[in-house]
């Protein structure tokens, strides 16, 4: 799939990994819809990049708003889904058992939200005219190394990201009949808003835990991999760890 001339939706595109992906796709010549609940940041990014970028307020748990973002792209060829939230709580802690509501909320946003984007984007792509070799679209989703190396207190987050990993191959098989590829990126520890409240000292400690390079990942490195997946037709049904060989300890 050529990025240049294609229409894309980046969900969670107002900040972090998503914003870097918006910049990368735009620089490659794509028309990009930023779909996010962060209206101020999304509008600011769209205004900065200007031509071929627009913002649509979208909540991944709301089918109508996701559909609006998909429709805004026109002939949609590319989706990258980066939207997600976190939660830290043990299954049983000092104050009793894990609260059910936040567990359900994390699953709702991270896992069901990703599926919501995938199903609606896939339906739109299926109606496209096929390109070379019958390709109609590419969907890139975002998991986490927590899907494999979940730490203490990450039960909700790990479950949600593990679900995204588990969806990848069957989604790719389901959509193969209409020429749509599906891959997932599982990032390690990256410089994102989720780490925004950490001190420089704590960031340095986290970075040193990564074998090589011994630093936090940069959002543009995620965006570079997303772009490669889009352009490499043989990448399909795969989950790719992007983590500098990090394997997370229990805590």
Domain regions of the chain by residue span:
7-242
| Farthest-apart Cα atoms in the chain, separation | 58
Please tell me the distance from the alpha carbon of residue 87 to that of residue 156, in angstroms, as a whole number.
7
The helix/strand/coil state of 17 is helix
CATH code for residues 7-242: 3.40.50.720
- Residue length of the chain: 251
pLDDT at 194 over 80: no
pLDDT of residue 197: 61
Please tell me the distance from the alpha carbon of residue 177 to that of residue 189, in angstroms, as a whole number.
35
High-pLDDT (> 90) share of the chain, %: 89
The helix/strand/coil state of 116 is helix
pLDDT of residue 232: 97
- What is the rounded average pLDDT of the residues 202-214? 86
The number of beta carbons lying within 10 Å of the beta carbon of residue 235 is 18
Please tell me the distance from the alpha carbon of residue 228 to that of residue 55, in angstroms, as a whole number.
24
Peptide bond into 213 cis (omega under 30): yes
| Structure letter (DSSP) for residue 112 | I
pLDDT at 142 over 80: yes
Q: Are 1 and 70 in contact (CB under 8 A)?
A: no
Helical (H) or strand (E) element with 165: helix 155-176
> Over the Cα atoms of the chain, what is R_g?
18
Q: 198 pLDDT band (50/70/90 cuts)?
A: low
H helices of 28-85, where? 39-49, 63-72
- Contacts of 225-228 with C-beta under 8 Å, sequence gap 24+, read 225/185, 226/21, 226/24, 226/80, 226/140, 226/185, 227/3, 227/21, 227/24, 227/25, 227/28
pLDDT at 202 over 80: no
Burial class (CB in 10 A: 0-12, 13-18, 19+), 174: middle
Q: Which residues are tagged catalytic? A: 157
Taking only the tens place, the pLDDT of each residue in 147-179 is 999 999 999 999 999 999 999 999 999 999 999
Q: Which residues contact 59 (CB under 8 A, 6 or more apart)?
A: 37, 65, 66
Q: Are 140 and 79 in contact (CB under 8 A)?
A: yes
């Amino acid at each position: 799939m050529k990025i240049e001339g294609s229409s894309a939706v980046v969900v969670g595109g107002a900040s972090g990994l998503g914003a870097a992906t918006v910049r990368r796709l735009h620089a490659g010549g794509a028309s990009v819809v930023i779909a996010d609940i962060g209206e101020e940041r999304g509008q600011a990014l769209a205004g900065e990049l200007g031509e071929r970028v627009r913002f649509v307020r979208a909540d991944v748990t709301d089918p109508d708003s996701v559909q609006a973002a998909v429709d805004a792209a026109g002939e949609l060829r590319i989706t990258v889904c980066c939207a997600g939230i976190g939660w830290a709580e043990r299954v049983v802690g000092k104050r009793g058992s894990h609260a059910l509501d936040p567990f359900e909320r994390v699953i709702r946003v991270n896992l069901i939200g990703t599926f919501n984007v995938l199903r609606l984007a896939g339906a739109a792509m299926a109606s496209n005219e096929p390109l070379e070799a019958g390709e109609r679209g590419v969907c890139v989703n975002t998991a986490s190394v927590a899907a494999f190396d979940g730490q203490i207190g990450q039960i909700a987050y790990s479950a949600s990201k593990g679900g995204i990993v588990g969806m990848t191959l069957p989604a790719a098989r389901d959509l193969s009949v209409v020429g749509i590829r599906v891959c997932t990126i599982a990032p390690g520890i990256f410089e994102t808003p989720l780490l925004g409240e950490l001190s420089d000292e704590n960031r340095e400690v986290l970075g040193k835990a990564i074998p090589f390079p011994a630093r936090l990942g940069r959002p543009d490195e995620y965006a570079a991999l997303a772009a490669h997946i889009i352009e490499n037709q043989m990448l399909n049904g795969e989950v790719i760890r992007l983590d500098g060989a990090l394997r997370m300890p229990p805590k």
